[in-house]
Amino acid sequence: MGRLFGTDGVRGVAVSELTTETAMLIGRAAAVTLAKNSHHKAKILIGKDTRVSCDVLESALIAGICSVGADVHTLGVIPTPAVAFLTVKYGADAGIVISASHNPYEFNGIKIFSSSGYKLPDEVEAEIERLVLDARNEMAPSGCSNLGRVYVEKNAEWDYVRHLLKNIDSDLGKMRIVVDCANGAASSCAEKFFKGLGANVIMINNTPNGTNINDECGSTHLEQLSNAVVENRAHAGVAFDGDADRCLMVDEKGEQVDGDRMIAILAKSMKEDGTLLSNTCVVTKMTNLGFFKWAKENGIVVSTASRIGDRYVLERMLLDGYNLGGEQSGHIILSDCATTGDGELSGAKVLEILAASGKKFSELASIFTPYPQLLVNVKLRPECRGKFNEVPEIAEIIDYCSNKLGSDGRIFVRESGTEPLLRVMAEGRDKDAIYQYANAIAQVVKKHLGETEL
């Protein structure tokens, strides 16, 4: 068993890589680590998305947690941000989510929230990992009289929906929207939420069957949403990933509105009404250069997270006292009302601004002009993960392309924290040039480390 935790919890092909044994051990280790200072019987929540493997992994987690004397409260199929919120509301010691987010149904994952509703810091994940990998004797099961029990939280979804509704002030009654749930965790609650706001809601991809999550739908495949918005003459479309912690949108013309534009819309609105703390938002190195240019021109300070990933965006927000941050991928954190990225909340906040503006969404979303940007993914051979910095030819082609772009653009190469992929991003004023350079780098990576280009 290799290293467990990546940038967003534990992830792998369900049952073969992320095994039931591993899930049971993670359950034990999480219960021992997160409840060790508790003076009451530990209480851990479990929520999940719609993958066919969720039930078996949930059973394994429950077995591990209860075996060391902690109680489990199951939430059923529910978005990741709901687990974070309910962990605090229900006074739990931890909340666990079974999901692989935007990945295909064959994958699954486990991510854990602390009692305060935040993703675990690296050092706590490291302690859980140590217990799983090296010190199973420290997790001796309780005797029969001390075993944990399992409880079902029947009101979890409505408790979460009511929380969302409390954080949106406007009635969206004049708005027609299309909502794509990716056949994932938001398939039930999203309709309740957006109809609760008074919107005319057209739902698509909200009939999960265990294997159709993220299948050519949701935030990673916006074609269905774009077509549905145009066909239904909707004002906007909203798409979630499998666990609904992120959201992308489309305008009335069916054109994509990515996380960068959503953050810009939110930042401008919050600055105007005086709620953007320190007039600052937090983004990552992947954020479009056009966003930085726009922010400077509009008196908005941009702070860049130390690493890619929404957990590092939140880390910077908490460290410096900011209340808005996010990623181009649609992870957006509004820390005045959430402890993690929440796709339903961020999508509704943008719709609220749209409704108040009186503009068409395409007008609102033209808030800045993005630089042309191309992202190419190269699938890595298993034995080559973590080694792209060791290949001189890759460093040489990156340097060459970066120098050719000069000050008119940039090259950014990084390994995914959740998948066996190397991501090559090129950005600049010249669309043809960035296409050429991104693919040139990808071909060299593929030659030395890759399987097939996605």
CA–CA separation, 263 and 186 (whole Å)? 22
CATH number of 163-367: 3.40.120.10
Q: List every span in the chain annotated with CATH 3.30.310.50.
A: 373-453
As a whole number of angstroms, the distance between CA 285 and CA 340 comes to: 19
The angle formed by the CA atoms of residues 112, 113 and 117, to the nearest 5 degrees, is 165
CATH architecture under which domain 373-453 falls: 2-Layer Sandwich (3.30)
The residue annotated as part of the active site, out of 53, 67, 99, 101, is: 101
Full strand arrangement of the beta sheet holding 5-6: 5-6, 9-13, 107-114, 94-98, 43-48, 71-77, 150-152
Stretches in the chain below the pLDDT threshold 50: 1, 453-454
Superfamily for domain range 5-155: Alpha-D-Glucose-1,6-Bisphosphate, subunit A, domain 3 (3.40.120.10)
101 labelled ligand-binding: yes
pLDDT digits (tens, 9 = 90+) for 316-333: 999 999 999 999 999 999
pLDDT at residue 454, as a whole number: 43
**Integer Cα distance of 374 and 64 in angstroms:** 44
Is 245 assigned to a binding site? yes
The two tokens of residue 177 are: 């929207």
CATH 3.40.120.10 domain residues, the chain: 5-155, 163-367
Lookup: tokens for 66: 């209860």
Q: Which pLDDT value is given to residue 453?
A: 44
Length of the chain: 454
What is the C-alpha to C-alpha distance for residues 454 and 451, in angstroms, rounded to an integer? 9
> How confident is the model over 218-274, as pLDDT tens digits?
999 999 999 999 999 999 999 999 999 999 999 999 999 999 999 999 999 999 999
Judge whether 226 counts as a catalytic residue.
no
Q: Considering just the CA atoms, what is the radius of gyration of the chain in Å?
A: 22
Q: Say whether 49 counts as a known binding-site residue.
A: no
Q: What is the pLDDT of residue 136?
A: 54
> Has 241 been labeled as part of a binding site?
yes
Q: Do 432 and 447 contact (CB within 8 A), yes or no?
A: no
